[in-house]
Structure 1
Amino acid sequence: MVQDVSINQVSTSQSSCLFCFLEIFSSEGGIQSYARDILKAYLSLTATKNWPLQAEVLLLRDSPDCQNPFESKNLRFSYLKTHPAWLGRLKFAAKLLTCLLQKRPERVFCGHIKLAPLIKTLCQPLGIPYTILTYGKEVWEPLPLKYQIAMRDAESIWTISRYTRDSLRDSFAARTCELNNLNPDKFQIVPCSVDENTFTRGPKPVHLLEKYDLVGAKILITVARLRSHDSYKGVDVTIQALPEIAKSFPNVKYLVIGRGDDRPRLAKLAADLGVAQRVVFAGFVPTQNLAEHYRLADAYVMPSQEGFGIAYLEALACGVPVLAGDADGSADPLQDGKLGWRVPHRDSAAVAVACVEILRGEDRRCDRPWLREQTLAKYSFQSLCQSLQRIFQPSDSDRLML
């Protein structure tokens, strides 16, 4: 059994680390889901009797009233959301400095590039190494100088996909200053994972078919935020493809799961194209109810630009054929097209052609048991734990025996 010791009493000879995130409980999204999986995996690893590591987690925009299933003796959380926002940032910086001075963590994990300059500024004088977590669009474009410097000086950089890793390296290589020499050895790919016990195959739930008026329909589904600045998700492109898809499948309908300020624009687009009766806006669906919604789908369609795309994994684990963009991190969950269709993300004609192929069901990529099997072989939660084990393992390697 792991000795129940307060984190304030941890010996300086014992490894510990510090996680810093913008938020992981107060909003939904791929980054938040990934961060929660990291913490879940960390707890799974630290539950082993030979690895009693403890960590603190600082949350800039989460408040104490959030629902947090990870609070434990091995993960202690500080919720620093404060109004006005500038005061919260000040509290975050003060708490970070206090943790660095008092706990002397073995490493700091910076959960977003926006936090990197502060973490660099406080960690470097104390000789504490830090790792920056990167996901997608936030690092695909050339970064301002202060973020470049923080990247250069980080001990390591996590990326969730080959595409994000390569885009980040290319953006540095495109600059002309001396900071371009970003050591490729810094990069570690720590991919997303899927909960195989939650996202499972099954029949289409009759109560949901009836609720959304989908009985007898061929069903396309997207799960995405509907915020105006997230239009890259491709919901509008899929709506534009519906008239063409309907020529082959007159009973096609499109279920859009998510909420945000872009919904009125999308609804108007559907009306203008004469497909309003084919588009169903389901609104927000809690994570625990997502799997049964995926099971409604004949195809999961998101011609997007994703850093990775956790939703693709969830759909594939439910045995649902998938359509994604062809120039983003979705290459990883779709295993370079082996498990799904990849098309130009703003090309509604290409989306229509691919959707018709999927709905015909004649391709190997529509084999539902096979899709699930191939996905779990590479992206199970256990795979994530194994990736993190190699990163978090103490220097005295025989302390961790799984």
Structure 2
Amino acid sequence: MRSTTNYLFCFLEIFSSEGGIQSYVRDILKAYVSLTAAANSPPQAQVLLLRDSPDCKNPYQSKNIKFYYLKTDRPWLGRLKFATILLSCLVQKRPQRVFCGHINLAPLIQTLCRPLGIPYTILTYGKEVWEPLAPKYQTAMRQADSIWTISRYTRDSLRDSFAARTCQINNLNPEKFPIVPCTVDGNIFTIGPKSQHLLKQYNLINAKILITVARLRSTDIYKGVDVTIQALPQIAKTFPNVKYLVIGRGDDRSRLAQLAADLGVAERVIFAGFVATENLAAHYRLADACVMPSQEGFGIVYLEALACGVPVLAGDADGSADPLQDGKLGWRVPHRDSAAVAVACIEMLKGKDKRCDRDFLREQTLARFSFESLCQSLEEIFQASDTPKNG
């Protein structure tokens, strides 16, 4: 990365809420800071945050990175401030590239960048770009210099969509769609014994434990917590001591609790609520299996569980193919099929499959998805983007 590089990053939010996208974006920023720290004259960067406020804890604060916190009580005012500061940065700083952190920001960035001749990159994750997009978003993506994708599934979905819209099947430049995968901190998520304190806290002593870490929002039913609850009666026939620890918060919790009661498994389902990142690893280690039959753009949860040596179950038609390495490291089942989830969970709890070898799971995961591998990928992409293109 050249020392003269000047980048502008635009995100919806990073610090004010939890989720896979927020975690991914934080890793991108952390990698950027790491890559630029050793430079004699570190490159400058500006970061615009539409929904974050100045009181957010920010571990990436640096004299070489200026953060703009634009959250307001009135959303329209925040959007106006965002657009005003974005235009000011573009005109005054003339960044070499703008990184658009969400498709919702893309039309504005396209409108302001194109007349100024400033290239922009759009970061994509999963569901937000899997479905057909409105024309203004299609235009913004078509005119983007590049589109980062989080997994092969999202990349292929985007490329197929581009081909269908433009009638170009063989002329899509693969360099326009680099994959920038998620990462896991192997120093935090480690193999270890089950915490006796937590086992007592959740009444899990002598239980076979399934775990899910996910938002419990009514808009995120696809995470599959309800499907796993529906599978519990069948699993209990083989493992009468099975219990299901659900970590996460949201407005769908009451529906899920009622579903467990209706199925007669309420005593088996423990809703732990929100767990801070620094305490997640200890909770993963409680589990005999991590279960999330979902539709994910990637699924950072799977990496965290695998790095802790915990067997995992995911959906079979989404970006989870990457962390599970096409089934080498876990079970992939139809994401709304409770019978298939039950069968897979029973196999996982028996623990006889190679995909239950904790050391193997951790070793294979860190070999491909460590923070160092992310830094290497980003350095190659930044270097390519810094190279002037002929013609």
TM bucket, shorter chain = over 0.9
Aligned pair in 2 of structure 1 residues 360, 106: CA closer, same or farther (>3 Å)?
Answer: same
**TM-superposition CA deviations, 1:352-389 (whole Å, max 9, x none):** 00000000000000000110000000000000000111
SS of alignment partner, residue 43 of structure 1: helix
1:170 is displaced (CA, Å) by 2.0
SS of alignment partner, residue 327 of structure 2: coil
- After superposition, residues 379-394 of structure 1 pair within 5 angstroms as 379-393=369-383
Aligned residue in 1 for 2:121: 131
Equivalent AA in structure 2 for residue 213 of structure 1: N
Equivalent AA in structure 2 for residue 380 of structure 1: S
Residue of structure 1 aligned with 2:247, choices 249, 257, 261: 257
Aligned residue in 2 for 1:53: 43
TM-score (norm 2): 0.96
Structure 1 residue runs without a partner (length 5+): 1-11, 398-402
SS of alignment partner, residue 323 of structure 1: strand
TM-score (norm 1): 0.93
1:82 is displaced (CA, Å) by 1.1
Residue of structure 2 aligned with 1:366, choices 338, 356, 374: 356
SS of alignment partner, residue 34 of structure 2: helix
Distance in 1, Cα, partners of 2:338 & 2:80? 46
Task: Check conservation: 1:45, 1:51, Cα contact below 8 A.
Answer: no
Distance in 2, Cα, partners of 1:96 & 1:47? 25
- After superposition, residues 3-402 of structure 1 pair within 5 angstroms as 14-50=4-40, 52-175=42-165, 183-393=173-383
Distance in 2, Cα, partners of 1:168 & 1:104? 29
* Residues 166-175 or 21-30, more deviating: 166-175
Aligned pair in 2 of structure 1 residues 57, 216: CA closer, same or farther (>3 Å)?
Answer: same
Equivalent AA in structure 2 for residue 388 of structure 1: L
1:74 is displaced (CA, Å) by 2.3
Question: Percent identity, aligned pairs only?
Answer: 80
Distance in 2, Cα, partners of 1:149 & 1:42? 28
Distance in 1, Cα, partners of 2:249 & 2:385? 45
Aligned residue in 2 for 1:6: none
Task: Check conservation: 1:46, 1:74, Cα contact below 8 A.
Answer: no
Distance in 2, Cα, partners of 1:290 & 1:155? 37
**TM-superposition CA deviations, 1:56-105 (whole Å, max 9, x none):** 10000001111111110222100001121001000000000010111111
Task: Check conservation: 2:3, 2:41, Cα contact below 8 A.
Answer: no
1:52 is displaced (CA, Å) by 1.4
Task: Check conservation: 1:149, 1:179, Cα contact below 8 A.
Answer: no
Task: Check conservation: 2:3, 2:43, Cα contact below 8 A.
Answer: no
Aligned pair in 2 of structure 1 residues 254, 101: CA closer, same or farther (>3 Å)?
Answer: same
Distance in 2, Cα, partners of 1:117 & 1:45? 29
1:53 is displaced (CA, Å) by 1.3
SS of alignment partner, residue 189 of structure 1: coil
**TM-superposition CA deviations, 1:25-63 (whole Å, max 9, x none):** 001000000000001011111111356112110000001
Distance in 1, Cα, partners of 2:321 & 2:121? 25
Task: Check conservation: 2:3, 2:42, Cα contact below 8 A.
Answer: no
Aligned pair in 2 of structure 1 residues 394, 149: CA closer, same or farther (>3 Å)?
Answer: closer
Distance in 1, Cα, partners of 2:202 & 2:191? 20
Equivalent AA in structure 2 for residue 326 of structure 1: D
Distance in 2, Cα, partners of 1:274 & 1:371? 34
Q: How many residues align?
A: 386
Equivalent AA in structure 2 for residue 241 of structure 1: A
1:171 is displaced (CA, Å) by 2.6
1:113 is displaced (CA, Å) by 0.2
Equivalent AA in structure 2 for residue 360 of structure 1: K
SS of alignment partner, residue 304 of structure 2: helix
SS of alignment partner, residue 205 of structure 2: coil
